[in-house]
Structure 1
Amino acid sequence: MYGECHAHIFMNGYHYRKAVELHKNHINEQNIREWFTEYEKRGVAFIRDGGDALGVSAYARQIAGEYGITYCTPLFAIHKNGHYGGIVGVGFDTMREYRGLVAEVKRRKGDFIKIMAAGIMDFNQFGVVTGEPLEQGEIREMIHIAHEEGFAVMVHVNTAQAVRDAAFAGADSIEHGNYLDRDCIQALADSRTVWVPTLSTIRNLIGCGRFPDEKLKKIYNSAAENLRRAYDTGVMLALGSDAGAYRVPHGQGIEDEFAAFKEILGDSKELRERLEQGEARIREKFVYGRRKTK
């Protein structure tokens, strides 16, 4: 089975606040081991976590080897205060504070930097993303600082402009990336940034009753069309389900993500090879191939 290139081990797939409560005062090791067992059952041997503010992914990295899993984490995601990102990380107000957070990740031996450059989709409305994205200059500076410290950068981002800004700034991977346009897709292809579209976060909501199916299907169809264009344009792709998000269970999530890719692109040798290449790129950049630190 492919690796899971975007997960949140502290989340439970159905209720964010309950997940936080479970780990808030102490890390619940049994819960982490339950999730690792689900991955082990499916032959998942690589997990790239998106971070959390509770120390759960840091602890998970310590025990992942017991399950034959290579596990990497940024420890926590980094967001600008007043913008989306507090659910998985730590905020900053100034670039000096941001540099301090990057230094903290380095001190604690985090594997990479994750930045939050935009909000999340509003599943009640097509084309709407919550909050304002970061400015182009801010995204560029944040990626530059992380690269200077020897880290690859994972960027949580949606909307064409913000994704384009991140790709041009040298993002090593783009997470989610909804509502792209043709120019943005070409920018991804030219930059060789790996795109991890996390389709399961949309697909698995259809029929659950929490959001209007009419809107969900329109959002999913838009994501599917962008994936087809990206595939045809030569964008580097990798599988990541955002496991732990609502209705995206650990272990099962990556199988659902692969099913979505096959549903959209067809099951072919070429698709499998390209997904292997995308995952290999992520393993190289985010685990084994970090640039030499200064």
Structure 2
Amino acid sequence: MFGECHAHIIMDGVNYRHAVDMHKNGPDDKIIREHLEAYQKRGITFVRDGGDGLGVSRRAKELAPEYGIDYRTPVFAIHKEGYYGAIVGKSFDTMGKFHRRVLEAKAQGADFIKIMTTGILDFNNHGAITGMYLEADEVREMVHIAHEEGMKVMSHTNGVYGVRAALKAGVDSLEHGNYMDGETLEMLAESSTVWVPTLVTVINLLGSERYEDAALFPIIRSASENVRKAFQMGIHVAAGSDAGAYRVYHGQGIQDEIHAFEEILGCSDKVYTWLKEGEENIKKKFHS
């Protein structure tokens, strides 16, 4: 059984705002336990969270051993004020403040640091990313600070510029990584960075009527082609579904993600070994 290399236990796959509201007065153990049970029932024993601003993933880490789950979390993600990321964490406005956020996460038991360097997919404009991206110099300094504090870096990043900046900075894992071109994939292949594509965050939107399927198909085709190239190039890749995102349910999400890889690459021991190696790489890198 594969582990889940990218989840958000604060979310429920149905309604983000409602899910967050359930924890406004402190992490709700009942809800957290329900999500942990969903992993346990499917034999999933490893979960890497992407963080949140309310301490929910931190509490999940405390409860997870009861369910036989090795739970890793950054506690919260770190984003620049005015840029994408408030949904999962805390902000900074200067590098000094970023450093204090890193120390804050460490003090709260973070296994690694998560940074937000770009927005998300613009479903109404194929190839575009929402909002502003961080400049390469900023990303490099953020990664340097985290590494100097002995912390690995998980980076939420999309788009050619964003991915190249993250790779040059030396991030340890690349989350999402949509719209990479050939040169960027070559950079990824030459690095030790693990790519976690989170394919089903888009695939599972098909038929939802949240977006037109016609707008989703080009994104899916682009991601699928890059996964094929990554496999051929021997890029480090691990499976993570972004569980908790809309229509991506805890426990089921990683099974959907593995099925997506099977649809793209076929069902073979070589594919499964490749993904397992990526997961083991994540486990080795992202621990306190």
- Give yes or no for TM over 0.5: yes
Correspondence for 2:45: 45
1:276 corresponds in structure 2 to 276
**Does the alignment pair 1:190 with 2:207?**
no
TM-score, normalised with respect to structure 2? 0.99
The Cα of 1:124 is off from its aligned counterpart by 2.6
1:27-176 equivalences under 5 Å are: 27-176=27-176
Identity across matched positions, percent: 56
Quick check: 1:124–1:212 contact (8 Å CA) kept in 2? no
Displacement of 1:192 after TM fit? Answer: 1.7
What amino acid is the match of 1:67? Y
Tell me, in whole angstroms, the C-alpha distance in 2 between the residues paired with 1:231 and 1:125.
28
In structure 2, the partner of 1:258 is: 258
What secondary structure sits across from 2:91 in the alignment? strand
How far 1:36 sits from its partner (Å)? 0.7
Structure 1: distance between partners of 2:242 and 2:2: 14
Deviation above 4 Å: which 4+ runs of structure 1?
none
Aligned-pair CA distance for 1:98: 0.3
1:71 CA drift (Å)? 0.3
**Which AA in structure 2 matches 1:9?**
I
Q: Deviations over 1:204-248 (max 9, x none)?
A: 001111101001011101110111111111110000000000010
State the distance in 2 between where 1:107 and 1:21 align: 25
Per-residue CA deviation, residues 85-110 of structure 1 (Å, 9 max, x unaligned), is 00000000000000000011111221
SS of the residue corresponding to residue 186 of structure 1 reads helix
Amino acid at match of 1:156: H
Read off the aligned partner of 1:117 and give its amino acid letter: T
- Which is worse superposed, 102-111 or 89-98? 102-111
Give the distance between the partners of 1:109 and 1:34, measured in 2 at CA.
Answer: 23
- How many residues align? The count is 288
What stretches of structure 2 of length at least 5 have no aligned partner? Answer: none
Deviation by residue 1:130-175 (Cα, 9 ceiling, x = unmatched): 0111000001000010000000100000001211111121110000
CA distance in 2 between counterparts of 1:106 and 1:33 reads: 24
- Structure 2 partner of 1:10: 10
CA distance in 2, matches of 1:263, 1:75: 33
CA distance in 2: counterparts of 1:125 and 1:165, whole angstroms: 22
Q: Calculate the aligned-residue CA RMSD, in Å.
A: 0.8
- Rounded to whole Å, the distance in 1 between the matches of 2:85 and 2:10 is 15
Query: What are the superposed Cα offsets for residues 242-266 of structure 1, whole Å, 9 maximum, x if unpaired?
Result: 0000010000000000000010011
Structure 1-normalised TM-score?
0.97
1:267 to partner: Cα distance: 1.0
Determine the C-alpha separation between the residues in 2 that align with 1:165 and 1:232.
23
Gaps of at least 5 residues in structure 1 are none
Contact 1:13/1:248, CA 8 A, preserved across alignment = yes
Using the alignment, how far apart are the partners of 2:209 and 2:76 within structure 1? 32
Distance in 2, matches of 1:79 and 1:51, equals: 12
SS of 1:87's equivalent in the other structure is helix
Question: 2-side partners of 1:21 and 1:139: how far apart?
Answer: 31
